[in-house]
Structure 1
Amino acid sequence: MMLFTEVRGLPVVPSAAGAGPLGTVVSLTVDVTSGSVSGVRFRVGHLHREKVLAWDAVVTIGPSAVRVRSTGGTEPVVTHHDLLGRRVLTEAGTAQGTVLDAAFDTATGRVLAVFTTRGEVSPGRLLGLGDHALVVRAA
């Protein structure tokens, strides 16, 4: 298990020995429908261009780096809504705090819990993530 905040800022490195870092993790992309991490967003080069690498390309995530198979399959940067710092609302629009962090399984990418200013939200309650908020089922 690891927290999203622990992954932010880690170097993204290829699994091949001797290769240097490819970039630095900016955030993790979440598919709330499946309740899993779907990609790793990272910054590349001096111009800080962002790229997204599908979760399938991740070999390991540890305290010192994110090791990936290849960056040949990077996807163009699409609209992304960062989970961290997002408002939390029920489907009825009732405020449920703000997302502070999220825990996930580093082997599978499965989101284990979302930690908010009002407590823990189980991944089974996640309904959607958009421009305005993370939408959850009422407890």
Structure 2
Amino acid sequence: MILFSRVRGLPVLTDGDARRLGAVRALAVDAGAGTVTQVRIRRGLLRRETVTPWRDVIAVTEDRVVVRTDTGEEAGTGGTERGTRQRDLLGCRVLTETGEERGTVLDAALDPVTGRIETIRTSLAELRADRMLGLGDHALVVRAARADRI
């Protein structure tokens, strides 16, 4: 497992020639699926941002992210995937489906091979990722635990 906070700022390199594309700005998430869908890459002095789909990530280590370049297009130019909502999880407010406040997302652990999110650490507790229902502009919505439903 690796933490989102440890991935932010890592250099992003191509697999063939180890060319530096930029640094990870954020990981975009599809909360309903419980997975990371994209790596958002900050490029250059003007801080231009590009997006690479998670399917093109070959490796995530403690000191770099390596992306595939044999997909027929230049790495880091993927844009956004259609049909899914991609948002940054860190810093989001957390609400249950009944509207109860559950803190703010401080970090999340993911499997660096599959991109599956395993746990979410909030300012109030640690939650299993399978409790995520959706992530919108306003908040991350999670399923209330049985103890929450008294």
Match of 2:78? Answer: 75
Question: In the TM superposition, what is the alpha-carbon distance from 1:72 to its structure 2 partner?
Answer: 2.2
Match of 1:4? Answer: 4
Poorly superposed stretches of 4+, deviation over 6 Å? none
Match of 1:28? Answer: 27
Q: Tell me the percent identity.
A: 50
Match of 1:115? Answer: 121
Contact between 1:51 and 1:77, CA under 8 Å: does it hold in 2? Answer: no
| Partner-residue secondary structure (3-state), 1:124 | helix
Amino acid at match of 1:60: A
Match of 1:46? Answer: 45
Map Cα deviations across residues 87-133 of structure 1 (whole Å, 9 max, x no partner). 00001110001100000001111100000011111111101111111
Instruction: Please report the RMSD computed on the Cα atoms of aligned residues, expressed in angstroms.
Output: 1.6
Question: In the TM superposition, what is the alpha-carbon distance from 1:82 to its structure 2 partner?
Answer: 1.6
Match of 1:129? Answer: 135
Quick one: distance in 2 between partners of 1:22 and 1:54?
Answer: 14
> How high is the TM-score relative to the length of structure 2?
0.86
| Partner-residue secondary structure (3-state), 2:88 | coil
Match of 1:60? Answer: 59
* Structure number, greater radius of gyration: 2
Contact between 1:104 and 1:110, CA under 8 Å: does it hold in 2? Answer: yes
Quick one: distance in 1 between partners of 2:79 and 2:114?
Answer: 23
> How high is the TM-score relative to the length of structure 1?
0.93
